[in-house]
Structure 1
Amino acid sequence: MINLDYTELTGEIITRESFNYEEERACWNRAIKKYPKVIINCSNNPDISNAIAWAKKNSLEIRIRSGRHHYEGYSTGDDVVVIDVNKMNNIEIDEKASLVKIQGGVSNREIYETLGKANYPFPGGGCPTVGVTGLVLGGGWGYSCRMLGLSADSLLQIELIDYKGELIIASENINEDLFWACRGSGGGNFGVVTSMTFKLPAKQNIATLIDIDYANINLDQIKSIFDLWIELFKDLDRRMNLKMAIYNSKINGKGVHITGVFYGSENEASSILSKFKSVLPYRVFDLKCTSILEINRIIQDSHPPYEKYKSSGRFVFNNYDSSMVKKIIKLVNERAEGSIYTAVSLYGLGGAVMDKDKEDTAFFYRDAKFIMGFQSVWEDDVHAKTNIDFVKNNISFIKSITTGAYINFPCGELENYEEEYYGENYKELRKIKIKYDPSNVFNFPQCIKTIL
């Protein structure tokens, strides 16, 4: 066994002998159990460069981590070097230039808090501890995307440390190909992101938070809500976006939960959603007009501190007939053994997401109607395999009725994953990968390949 010299590293060094190793190696998805050789909590660019050089010198694979939220755990691994940028979380607002610059470790909650206090919305994600950089690199779905576009659509400049340990800047005017790739190719392919600069949207003092829940209902009742959902999105005001979860919960039985944000008044939202109020008796129908900051706090706080789950997501283009809708709903008719929650979810797209063409950024599936997600959540490790197999089996059916997979909701079992994640853009992404990481230093499961 080779003895490694950690003295050449800078930053906070966590090894298997460190008292906080178990805490530091943990992912948000507690079903992922990986044991890195070393975790380096970086505070600045030199820490990152040193980590890359040290990993190459010792022939160790690198993983890049900011929020620990990768569904399949590709931001960590067994016997790898984890470069963690979570401590690099500075945020600078330049209101005169309408810009915000963040460091690579900023989380959703941190950017929502900072911008929300200044009455700025931000097209971020729903979960508080997700790293903004990982979200943006994958395109970035969020409750504001129909009005503000994907997270990546506001990006103006990115800085990253490359395979040589050197700083690279990419924008529309410099390293344009890399900038194109960094808006939809997913995290970890080209280097360690140290900063992102975004264009600030117009200030928005208030909006309406949407929370609707129908609990303990049967499959026919769920179908009536599903049908309303499809009809609603045919000409939905782009100021509104919604996520609908058709769930089977150990606590609330079978039901539907709709969460959303509307950049308008409570009365307007009520009018748009009026049919959802009358279609069935509901457990919750709450429209709350309040500040952008408060809305994001409520959404963030609705998420658990961690879970054990298997999940994935794919793009919906089809108009499903009645029989297909019933088949989709039946995916959650039963839970896997040990599951406390399973759901098939629809994440709204359209609106501003479609304002760009599929060739404008690496995010290819601009004209999809929804992202269809599927998940199972459990608590006891003894049920892990059963739940994972349950999701894998049902994803096979979902794959047959969808086109392409969302890189930020990845699935480790995908064949031809590059074509699935990137559509026709995958060939160009391979060329860019070869150009900016010719030695394939940033190599991990489902990374962009360097073989044309």
Structure 2
Amino acid sequence: MEKTKLTGRIVTRDDPGYNDARTNINLSLQRYPRLIVFCQNKHDAVNALKWARENNVPFRIRGGRHSYENFSLLNNGLVIDLSEMNRIKVDHNKQLATIEAGAELGEVYRTLWRYGLTLPAGNIANVGLTGLTLGGGIGYLTRSAGLTCDHLVKLEMITAEGKEEAELITVSRSEHPDLFWASQGGGGGNFGIVTSMTFKAVPISRVSIFSITWGWKDFEEVFNTWQRWAPFTDERLTSSIEFWPEEVNRIEALGQFVGTKTELKELLKPLLKAGKPTSGIVKTVPFIEAAAFFNSPGGNRPQNLKRSGSFIEKPLSNHAISTIKHFLQQAPNQNASVWQQSLGGAAGHIAPDETAFFYRDAIIAQEYLTNWTSPEEKSQNVRWIEGLRTALSKETMGDYVNWPDLAIRNWQKTYYGENFERLREVKTKYDPDNVFRFEQSIPPLRRSIFF
């Protein structure tokens, strides 16, 4: 039988663009692949998988380059990069959007906006939509419209059939429903190579947004007020809050409301009574302007970083709030922060076992963030993140699989909760030989292989 040849745009270590081609969002975890194939279409992806299997070359799948632990990179293997497969097709009448696996969120927003549509998704413009969706997908429409994965209608996926084969299949509620379930929060890269996804889009026009800032002295009052207000207010309002170190002297709450500025101002009254706000903005804008407003510039560029997170099921105690405050007083630098987003609403109307995304009962997603400049700062920053996560563990649960953390030992239960064993069954059915694997990939049953 004739051997498969790699097709697409191929980058090797000898090419002048190699360093740019291999670079992911996290510069603190360097990887040096042997080859990077930038697939131009699904056939290139099929060929890449076949070639890797025939030649016994380890590989990783990459989309938006935003894997915080660089799971989409490896040393001395093949990276199957889908970023140049980014076509978007919209059926306006049916409100369906078919989006290739490499499309970035910002371009998705801009394209759908031309049809008066959008998806409930994230706030970083250059994050890959596919990875975001496969892990769940939270953002400023979560409470009004649900998670990104809740709008998934079908997807195309290349699975590893047979000894050296690669088969392109369609996955939906009626075709391979178990794999469709797993694709709604089961994480990227576990079951196959997704080449495109079709979503039921959401009509959108104008929305109202807000920003409120406070100084450090209002820490406890603002924290307590926001966490007891944000997850329980009108479901059309999704918000976040971020706390920076004491010397930064800044707390900021942001939010988006699918309604009028007048209604939003009324809903914000409890929050505005907390402490003494130093600034505030409330305005109604076209949705696409709101997306630009929330776009996080710091999240768009490669840097030395560490992230972790957890979910919160009930408001944190005063002791936990004091713990967060203490850690921010001892932060390794001014870039460190604790970020929270309100959940519930439409995202909480779905049972934990209805999709692979388990944490439907959570009221808040909480992320721990830091970044630094010089390599010698890494250990201090990583220790700070892990210390904070551990110190809050009695009042938090799990972690969002899109915020992976290699330091988490029981990551199986942490990411997937009670859905993990079912995910292993799906893995066993579609990838019994564990072809698709990385450091925290779901292992098949009978083969407890951990990397």
Query: Could you tell me which residue of structure 2 aligns to residue 10 of structure 1?
Result: 7
2:395 counterpart letter in structure 1: I
Equivalent-residue separation in structure 2 for 1:228 and 1:393 (angstroms): 25
The answer (yes or no) to whether the contact 1:119–1:293 under 8 Å persists in 2 is: no
Q: Does 1:435 align with 2:429?
A: yes
Structure 2: tracts of 5 or more residues without a match: 447-451
Aligned residue for 2:123?
126
Residues 175 and 288 (structure 1), Cα distance of their counterparts in 2 relative to 1, 3 Å cut:
same
Mean alpha-carbon deviation: is it higher for 415-424 or for 183-192? Answer: 415-424
> Following the alignment from structure 1 to structure 2, what is the Cα–Cα distance between the partners of residues 385 and 427?
34
Amino acid at match of 1:11: G
When residues 249 and 409 of structure 1 are mapped into structure 2, their CA distance, relative to the original with a 3 A threshold, is: farther
Is the counterpart of residue 317 in structure 1 residue 286 in structure 2?
A: no
Q: Write the mapping of 1:89-128 to structure 2, written as runs, cut at 5 A.
A: 89-128=86-125
1:224-252, CA deviations, whole angstroms, 9 ceiling, x for partnerless residues? 101111221353111111111111276xx
Amino acid corresponding to residue 24 of structure 1 in structure 2: A
Amino acid at match of 1:98: Q
Q: Is the 8 A contact 1:63 1:76 kept in 2?
A: yes
1:282 and 2:277 aligned: yes
How do 1:325-404 and structure 2 match up within 5 A? 325-336=321-332, 339-404=333-398
Deviations 1:263-314 (A, max 9, x none): 1111211111123334333343111210011111222264443332101111
Q: CA deviation at 1:110?
A: 0.9
CA distance in 2, matches of 1:34, 1:400: 35
Aligned mates of 1:212, 1:409 — CA distance in 2: 26
Q: Partners in 1 of 2:278 and 2:352 — Cα distance? A: 40
Query: Any conservation in 1 of the 2:242–2:338 contact (CA below 8 Å)?
Result: yes
How far 1:155 moved relative to its partner?
0.4
Measure, in 1, the Cα distance between the counterparts of 2:147 and 2:227: 21
Query: How far apart in 1 are the matches of 2:273 and 2:177?
Result: 51
Question: Which residue number corresponds to residue 180 of structure 1?
Answer: 181
Deviates more, 1:59-68 or 1:240-249: 240-249
The SS at the match of 1:376 is strand
Kept after mapping to 2: 8 A contact 1:214/1:284: yes
Find the residue that maps to 2:346 and give its secondary structure. Answer: helix
Q: Distance in 1 between matches of 2:379 and 2:319?
A: 30
Provide the aligned length of Structure 1 versus Structure 2.
439
AA aligned to 1:281 is K
1:266 aligns with 2:261: yes
Report the Cα offset of residue 345 of structure 1.
1.6
Would the aligned equivalents of 1:70 and 1:408 in 2 still touch at CA under 8 Å? yes
8 Å Cα contact 1:340/1:377 also seen in 2: no
Match in the other structure for 2:239: 242
SS of the equivalent of 2:326 reads: helix
| 2:294 aligned to which of 299, 309, 331 | 299
- Identity over the aligned pairs, expressed in percent? 33
Could you tell me how far 1:7 is from its partner in structure 2? 9.2
Deviates more, 1:282-291 or 1:147-156: 282-291
Give the whole-Å Cα distance in 1 for the aligned partners of 2:30 and 2:297: 25
SS in 2 for 1:238: coil
Distance in 2 separating the partners of 1:43 and 1:315:
38
1:438 is displaced (CA, Å) by 1.5
Structure 2 residue identity aligned to 1:289:
T
Cα distance in 2, alignment partners of residues 320 and 106 from structure 1: 37
CA apart distance, 1:261: 0.9
Corresponding letter in the other structure for 1:293:
I
Q: What residue in structure 1 maps to residue 194 of structure 2?
A: 193
Cα distance in 1 between the residues matched to 2:297 and 2:369: 17
Residue of structure 1 in register with 2:67 after alignment: 70
Once the two structures are TM-superposed, the CA of residue 92 in structure 1 deviates from its matched residue by: 0.7
Superposed displacement of residue 207, structure 1: 0.2
Tell me the amino acid that sits aligned with residue 228 of structure 1: T
| Partners of 1:417 and 1:279 in 2: CA distance | 37
Q: TM-score, normalising length from structure 2?
A: 0.94
Greater shift in the superposed pair: 351-360 or 279-288: 279-288
Q: String of CA shifts for 1:304-354, please: whole Å, max 9, x gaps.
A: 433321011111113323233222222211221xx3311112111100011
Task: Specify the alignment match of 2:449 in structure 1.
Answer: none
1:240 and 1:43, CA in 2 relative to 1: closer, same or farther beyond 3 A? same
Q: Distance in 2 between matches of 1:12 and 1:248?
A: 44
Retained in 2: the 8 A contact 1:314–1:404?
A: yes
User: Alpha-carbon deviations, 1:348-383, whole Å to 9, x = none?
Assistant: 110001111111100011011111111111122221
1:3 paired residue number: none
CA contact (8 A) 1:27 1:68 kept: yes
Structure-to-structure mapping, 1:183-222, within 5 angstroms? 183-201=184-202, 203-215=203-215, 217-218=216-217, 221-222=218-219
CA distance in 2, matches of 1:425, 1:173: 21
* Partner Cα separation in structure 1 for residue 55 and residue 152 of structure 2: 35
2: distance between equivalents of 1:146 and 1:97?
A: 23
CA distance in structure 2 between the partners assigned to 1:204 and 1:330 by the alignment: 41
Is the Cα contact below 8 Å between 1:307 and 1:377 reproduced in 2? yes
Aligned CA RMSD, in angstroms, stands at 1.7
